[in-house]
Structure 1
Amino acid sequence: MAVMKRSALGRGLDALITMDDLKTGGSSSISEIELSKIQPNPNQPRSVFEEEALEELATSIRALGVIQPITLKETGTDKYMIISGERRYRASLKAGLDRIPAYIKTAADENVVEMALIENIQREDLNSIEIALAYQKLIDNYGLTQEKLSERVGKKRATIANYLRLLKLPAEIQMGLKDKKIDMGHARALISVEDPEIQLALYEQILAEGLSVRNVEDLVRNATEGGKREKNEIAPSRKSMLPEEFNLLKDHLSRFFNTKVQLACNEKGKGRITIPFASEEELEKLISLLDKLK
């Protein structure tokens, strides 16, 4: 393999991450690696890769090549896993390349997720829910406190706490945030509402009326400062809008899946059933239950 000079990085990954701070204790080198020998990181924090953006990057790569190397971890003889740069890897495949410049890093397994997270956060490539899930994964897997995590990723503890609070929102709202139907400001306003029914009703009102963050903050403030107003002073309660048989179905599903199932239905009979889960383990249990229904 032809070894590239270190100066080829320019203001690349090293300008975004101080690798020494991650204390991987390993060696590193830069090479051109065959794409067929590379596999994505299954714990990659980023889960959304927009097809149009990938096509644009692929077009650029066809014209100019891969300007900034990706970062890999060697997992065996001629086998590598992506630490950062999966978007460039995917675009290179689209562009028809067979090799890609790569920064080879020897890292302990527990550092790989952390390195991928930091690289993506520095680039602001992750959406809010992806960041929140990555923070939670680091906390759960490696026993980090929010304070320790803030030191590792270079973010204030309050910032990390705000992201983690997003995971307490109903699954439907989390998906809306992930799909950019609402932004972080909307979500933070909804977090201050304790009742999930009201959160979901407000969420639908945001989508239906195009409410600004200030609008939502005012609705929530009026409710909390107005002497504990009833739910329907913010937005109609979902339960009151559903026929009794639908409420019974909703309660039955909640008991069956052992989670708070949400059911919404309009006057024409069109609606959705939302089954929230808080972790990959809970998702696996839900899938197992659904498989049994077959």
Structure 2
Amino acid sequence: MIAIIAGGTGSVKLVRGLARLQDAAVIANVGDNIWLHGLYVCPDVDTVVYGLGGMLDEERGWGVKGDTFSFLDQAKKSGVDAWFALGDRDLAMHVLRTQMLARGRTLTQVTAHFAKAYGIRSRILPASDDETFTIISTDAGDMHLQEFWVKNACRPKVKGVRYSGIKSARATSQVLDAIKSADRIVIAPGNPVSSIGPTLAIKGVKKALARRRKDVVAVSPLIGRQAVSGPAVKYMATLGIEASPAGVAEFYSDVAGSVVIDSRDAGTSARIRRLGVEVHETNITMRTRSDEVRLGRYLLRKSAN
């Protein structure tokens, strides 16, 4: 069994590739969860569900393919500032999740319900059942990650990033068991600060990963000094993390014994090894389903060496 630390749209492709090859437990980021219109929305969890369930809108990288937005249009006509694109089919997930949570079920239990309903064999595990929210401090004030990313299109200047509620958040027993029992643990190529960082900050996770460090491999989300997708570079700079594969390796060095970088970044390999991190070089770009499986096979092959 392989455990995958996942978050953001950059992770789901590798998650799909690995899940086709081996039993997988996907530990999904909950830092971008948000309450909207009275509903508990879990974008990263849902992206994994939709991706493994064959429902993901591939063009956007999130939401349900073929979805419509009649609810959103009507809300806007009613004077609501409906800035977050909740599709009509997507709403079913959020409405039912909110109802089940109100009846006392945990987020882990609710997610397992949807995975079973959609015929997903892999286990999808929210990193925590507790609420924690990624907050971006900007020159326009503090705002939830989704407000910064979606509502404000990353325009405000970032001054800092923090995880609200992180001190009281605890990793679930299912997450810790998955890390402990996995043959190999992969940190997917999500944004280190906003997609992976919140999971690492949850009490219990980093310690569990550090114990398995030699079995943990992180896949770089950067090629050169550019993110494959998303605002990773902007967030990394704010926290003083060098925007390079070497910076990524250093960020994960306490928990990952090896890192996979793009072949074009081979010039940084010696520097990464000096951090005490082994490095593997390959094509990390995933444009097709074949690419997803190719990279997944590469990771599994390296883990067997």
Indicate whether the TM-score tops 0.5. no
TM-score (norm 1): 0.25
TM-score (norm 2): 0.24
Query: RCO greater where, 1 or 2, for CA within 8 Å and sep 6 or more?
Result: 2
* Structure with the bigger percentage of strand: 2
